[in-house]
A and B are shown apart, each in its own frame.
Chain A
Amino acid sequence: MPGGDFHPWLFFILAAWILICALGVVAFRKVMYSAVSMVACFLGVAFAYALLSAPLVAIVQILVYVGAISIVIMFAIMLTEVQDGAYELFFNRQVAFAAPLAVAAAAVLTVVLVTSDIGAIGDRALNPSVKGLSLLLFNGYVFPFELVSLVLVAAMIGAIVLARREEEKP
């Protein structure tokens, strides 16, 4: 059973929620419906982090994914809305090959996972608290932290340079 201080049914309801919303992202014909389904899926994943006793990751997931990334994606959808009958063919031609491939990959991975010894200690939750996580972040992992901030600045400048209009030349 999926261990922790919660009823096991909670895990199965949550897993069904996440997977159904993920299937909705793939299967919805309208792009905006896909985006809303993706937001619901991200909320479910945040709930999964909370069940895995990682509350900081859950809050960051809601802030970054549900708050920021989904808004950016919806802006992109509304900026690139295509009217000329583009919805009539929303899967490409590889679907006949990709569907068996994805099912086979899921089956093989499940079999490998179930038959392997992953060496879990038990059902006890071992994730650190917010205090332990921040001590870890600002002691041992302070160099990756600074590096990530550099990557964020580079991505911000890159996005501005890419998406800027260029006709306002003197």
Chain B
Amino acid sequence: MNALYWWLTLALLLFCIGAFGVLVRRNVIVVVMCLELMLNAVNIALVAIANFRGGSRGAGALFALFIITLAAAEVTVGLAIVIENYRNRRTVQTDQYDELKG
């Protein structure tokens, strides 16, 4: 077994745990946290592949940096939306956001 396989297995297990959390949790803030777990899994995969394959002069670590920056922006806007929603509805539970239900 190559070294890369171990790191990619870790990344995909972390990704699946995050996806499971996004699917099952009711609190929107926990859903945002699980999204962050999924982004971290992708970052681990990128850095591992860049480390063991070394293509394009190691730009994989650079991509991980860009993803971290964009995740910070995403969390800021997402939590602002959550707080704005909480101010209107007094809830953060996903199954009570049902105004658009037909």
Within 8 A of B (CB), among A73-128: 73, 75-77, 79-80, 82, 86, 89-95, 98-99, 101-103, 105-106, 109-110, 113-114, 118-128
Chain A neighbourhood of B52, CB < 8 A: 3, 120-126
Within 8 A of B (CB), among A36-62: 38, 41-42, 45, 48-49, 52-54, 56-57, 60-61
Determine if B57 and A98 form an interchain contact, defined as CB atoms under 8 angstroms apart: no
Please measure, in the bound complex, the distance between the C-alpha atom of A47 and the C-alpha atom of B102, giving whole angstroms: 47
Q: Smallest Cβ distance from A165 to chain B, in angstroms?
A: 8
Specify which of B13, B53, B83 is in contact with A163 (CB 8 Å cutoff). B83
Q: A26-B24, A65-B36 are in contact. Are A18 and B14 (CB under 8 A)?
A: yes
Q: Smallest Cβ distance from B24 to chain A, in angstroms?
A: 5
Specify which of A52, A73, A106, A156 is in contact with B75 (CB 8 Å cutoff). A73
Chain B neighbourhood of A15, CB < 8 A: 6, 10
Chain B neighbourhood of A60, CB < 8 A: 65, 68
Chain A neighbourhood of B68, CB < 8 A: 57, 60-61, 64-65
* Size bracket of the B interface: 35 or more
Please measure, in the bound complex, the distance between the C-alpha atom of A60 and the C-alpha atom of B77, giving whole angstroms: 20
Interface residues of A (CB under 8 A from B): 1-4, 11, 15, 18-19, 22-23, 25-26, 31, 34-35, 38, 41-42, 45, 48-49, 52-54, 56-57, 60-61, 64-65, 68-69, 72-73, 75-77, 79-80, 82, 86, 89-95, 98-99, 101-103, 105-106, 109-110, 113-114, 118-128, 132-133, 136-137, 140-141, 144, 148, 151-152, 154-156, 158-160, 162-163
The 7 A-B residue pairs whose C-beta atoms are closest, nearest first, are: A126-B54, A3-B3, A155-B73, A102-B20, A98-B23, A128-B58, A26-B21
New contact pairs (10) apart from A25-B21, A25-B37, CB-CB < 8 Å: A4-B3, A22-B37, A26-B17, A64-B72, A65-B40, A91-B24, A92-B24, A99-B20, A113-B9, A141-B62
